A and B are shown apart, each in its own frame.
Chain A
Amino acid sequence: MSLSIRKGSITGLIGPNGAGKSTLFNLLTGALKPDSGSVRLKDQDVTNLSPNRLFKLGLGRTFQIPRPFARMSVLENVMLAPIAQIGETISGPFLFRSRMRDEEHHIRKKALEVLDFVTLTPLADHPAGKISGGQMKLLELARVLMGDPGLILLDEPAAGVNPVLTETLIEKIKELNRRGTTFVIIEHDMDFVMRHCDPVIALAVGKVVFQGTSEEALADPVLLDAYLGATADA
């Protein structure tokens, strides 16, 4: 398959279970290594780069099943994310104390702003493992935002999340998108995809079967039939 994500878009990635959506995400984010083919990010070949390198290059991702650092506070989860912190080396806390403290001050301030943005401020001091699934998805978004990524991959952000939180999430995604962040979203909720994503890419058995606007997708009987037919089996 071959596909490209347009800069500045909110691209929806749909397809029945087993179509390869999450596998594609894992290939793009370096969690899986491709047997062949290549991945390019902003004209740079990033094939085979590890997830940590890709995050540093501005690619953030969330997980289908949220992966909070459960026994850490929500605030700590977010404060972890900035890259290359001086205090993250074993010598930093001893040799560069004042620099580390300044940096912590800034990171904490930014983390609180990001938590405010995703409406999690009241939960800042809660253990991340004890918040709701929807809140965990917002937390994952918050963590990713700390790295100021240009491209964010969201794996089923609306699945299992109550409608109010979903609306909050969409609002935040659109706000970020207006500021220039590109999104790729895997989602089963067709209504979500049709309303908020453009373009839409559909996968089936590891192949791109459709690529176009949401209007075109809605008008494509084969796609709808294939997609809905397969999910009905699931």
Chain B
Amino acid sequence: MKNIMIVNSLKAVLAMGTAFGFTSSAWAASCCGGGSASSLVLPKFSQAMVDVSVDFENYDGFWKGDGSWSPDPTGSDLNQYRLNLGYAYRLAPRWQASISVPYVWNKNQYPSFSRNTNGLGDTKVSIWYEQFDKVACVWKVKKWQDLIPAVYWGGTLTLPTGTSQYNDVADNFDITGLGMYRLDANVLLDKTVYPWNMSFSANYGKYLERSVNREYGTYVEPYDAQRGDRFNSSLSFGYTHFTEEMQSLTGTLAYAYLQEDEARVDGAIDTTSGLRKRSASATLAWASEDRNWVAKLTWNHALDREGWGENFPTTDVITVGVSHVLR
């Protein structure tokens, strides 16, 4: 028997969905401190930062491949919770590194059964270069240079530390990771002219091809799998209110776009794969007067409208997080 082995490796996770990197987490801070950036970055001149957040993600239908929206099966209640531990450290005046480790709980209920599983998710290790020497946050624009944003260039390596479909699992409900390494190139622009803030981020990621000899616990004829290249970007606008004690309360609205190309196995394209998602989010962040403590609450919502996504679940994510900056 001649088997043509072509995989769509991204698929397994998406249904029960691990949203690793698909949503905007409530990261700790912007270059000014106080928090609005879409990545785990240190404020300028600070030495380190610890970030802890919890995601509560609820699944509510999905976009099909043609962009039409479809509800989940009647009587289903699909959820994923993630505890994200992050640590960022300054290596040099313009260089910083970070690591983020999620722990994932899958809680899925269908009319015929329910499954609760948990495990380590995929780990991200990043390094960032800051293309600026001074804090790019100003109170008043006096010259055109005051409009120059803080620019970060970064690289992220995703390590497949989670449990994937390629592990010895019973089915897709056990999955907490994608099972593949990925390298991302990142750029982050952040500009604050108090009380206003705007930031833009873009990431382009390439998955590394891997060998596969098992699917959901069953050994199969080995093949090489590679997910499609991934691009995501977000644009956000924020407003900061300062109290008399100079504590700050920042409200941010963001729009995010995610796209992943078709997967390949043994070099052949899987035409049933690929995804696209648009989402919006609102964040409220409180920062202490010294900007050393930041607490955030984010609501991310995927619009269940036709044409706003493809091959992807529509979800709501509530994120609660706190970070502590070490000067």
Please determine whether chains A and B interact with each other in the same assembly.
no
